[in-house]
Amino acid sequence: MDSLVQNANPKLQLTPTQFAAIEPNAYILSQLSQRPSSNGVPTRANAREQFEFRDMTVTVGGFTHANGSSTVRIGDTSVVCGIVAEQIYTSEVPSWDVSQASVSANKRRRLASSGKTLLDNDEETDQAYDNEESRHIEDRCLLVPNVTMNTGCTPGYVPGAPPSEDEQSISNNLLGLLRSTRMIQAEDLRIWYQPPNLDAGESDSSNETQLPELKAFWVLHIDIMVMSYGGNIFDAAWTALVAALRHVTIPYAWWDVDKEIVLCSDDASKAHKLSLREMPTSCWFSVFEPQPRPASQDEVARGSLGDGWWIFADPDGYEESVCEENVWCVVSKDKNGKTRVYRAQNVGGSTVDSEVMHNLLQISAKKWEDMKSIIDEVVATGSPRAVAWKGKSYSA
C-alpha cells in the first residue's frame, strides 16, 4: 500500500524548456545567478554575456530591379531591404515656387566658378542651405520607408491583417531617424537644368547670369520585409537600410527641353552613389527587472548594474517578452572621431539613470566602429557577397 501511495505522488520535474515557458522571469534570473562566465560576468539564458551582441551577416545587392538592396541576419532575426528611386517633377508638386531653389542654385553657381561642387564644400555650407536641404527632403517626402511583416515571421503575426502597431512604429522611427541624422543629402536627389545664356556673346561662354532650374526630385521608396522575427527588429531593419543606402546607385538624369521630361542614361559609368554624410548605428538594450527582486546581496553584486536589475544588449525575442523597459541608443562618429549622439532614450520605464546611459552610449560607440567596417567591406566587394561578423561583448 505504501508503494502505491508513493507512486501516486511522483516528484514533479520540469525540463529547462518547460521551466522557461512557464516561469520566464524566474528562469532568466536563475541563469544569471547560477551560471556566471569564467570572467565573473553573469551569463544570460541564451549563453551570452550582458553586453554581448549576436552574430551578424550582411549582404548587399542581388535585387535586379532595385537601385539598392541588402539582407541582414542577426541571430534568428532576418530582414530584407530594397530601395527603388522614382522621379517627381517640381511642376507636379503643389504650390511649388521656383524661388525655393534659389539658395542651392546660387550656391551651385558660386562653387562652379571656383571649380568646386556642393559635396566638396562642406565648410561653406551655411544654415540657409541646411534648412533648404531639410525642407526639400521632409516637405516633399523624398524618403518613404515602409516595414512589412512576412507571413510566418512570427507566430503572433496574422496574414492579411492591416499594418500592425510594430510595423507602423518601426516605419515611423526609421523615417524620424533618417530626417534627424540628415545622412542623405538632398543634392543627390535633385535633377537640375542649366538654361543657356542667350544674352552672352559668342566669345563669352559663361552661364553666370543664368541660375540653374530645379526640374525634378528622386524619391527613394525604402521597403523592408521582416522574414524572421527573433528579437531586436529595429537594429536589424536600420542596419539593412544603411547597407542598402550605401549600395544605392542613381542613374544620370537630365532635363530634355524639347520633350519637357527627364531622361536617364543607361550608361552605368555615369551613375552616382549617394553621398551619405554619416552612417549612424542603432543599439537596442532591454532592462531585466525580476519580480520580486532578489533578496541575496550576493545575487545583486554579481553582474547587475543597479539594485537587482540587469541590462541585456541586443535582446532576443524571449528576453523582449520578459523585459518591459528598453533603452535605444543611436550614435555616429565624425571624421575626427568625435561621437555624435542622435538617440539616448528610455522606452517603457525610468530605471536607467544618466550614468548607466553614458555607459551604454560608450558601448554603442564601440559597436559603431565594427558596423562601419562591416558595411564598408561588403559594399566594396561590388558583387553580391555576404560578410559575417562574430558577435562580441563590449565594456563601457
> What are the DSSP calls for 117-169, one per residue?
-GGG-GGG--HHHHHHHHHHHHHTT-EEEEEEEPTTSSTTPPTTPPPPHHHHH
Kindly state the average pLDDT of the residues 216-237: 94
pLDDT of residue 303: 40
When comparing pLDDT for 204 and 314, which is higher?
314
Q: What angle in degrees, to the nearest 10, is found between the helix axes of 127-139 and 102-113?
A: 130
- Print burial letters for 301-314: b (CB count within 10 Å at least 16), e (below 16): eebbbbebbbbbbb
pLDDT digits (tens, 9 = 90+) for 348-377: 888 888 899 999 999 999 999 999 999 999
**Which pTM was predicted?**
0.84
Q: Residue 201 pLDDT > 60, yes or no?
A: no
Q: Residue 63 pLDDT > 80, yes or no?
A: yes
> What is the spatial distance between Cα 219 and Cα 92, in angstroms, rounded to a whole number?
13
Beta bridge partner(s), residue 46: none
> Is residue 75 within 8 Å of residue 53, measured between CB atoms?
no
Q: Confidence class of residue 52 from pLDDT cuts 50, 70 and 90?
A: very high
Contacts 24+ apart (CB under 8 A), 149-154: 149/225, 149/226, 149/229, 150/225, 150/226, 150/227, 153/226, 153/227, 153/228, 153/229, 154/228, 154/229, 154/317
> Is residue 344 within 8 Å of residue 361, measured between CB atoms?
yes
Pairing of strands 56-60, 68-74: antiparallel
Q: What angle in degrees, to the nearest 10, is found between the helix axes of 127-139 and 165-181?
A: 160
Q: Confidence class of residue 223 from pLDDT cuts 50, 70 and 90?
A: very high
When comparing pLDDT for 69 and 26, which is higher?
69
Residues in the chain: 396
> What is the spatial distance between Cα 165 and Cα 173, in angstroms, rounded to a whole number?
12
Q: Which of 224, 268, 223, 274 is nearest to 247 (CA)?
A: 274
Amino acid at 150: N
Cis peptide bond upstream of 196, omega within 30: no
Kindly state the average pLDDT of the residues 299-306: 42
pLDDT of residue 209: 58
Q: Which domains does the chain have, with CATH numbers?
A: 56-277 (3.30.230.70), 282-388 (3.30.230.70)
> What is the spatial distance between Cα 325 and Cα 315, in angstroms, rounded to a whole number?
12
> What is the spatial distance between Cα 323 and Cα 84, in angstroms, rounded to a whole number?
37
pLDDT of residue 98: 52
Dihedral over Cα of 116, 243, 178, 254: its sign: positive
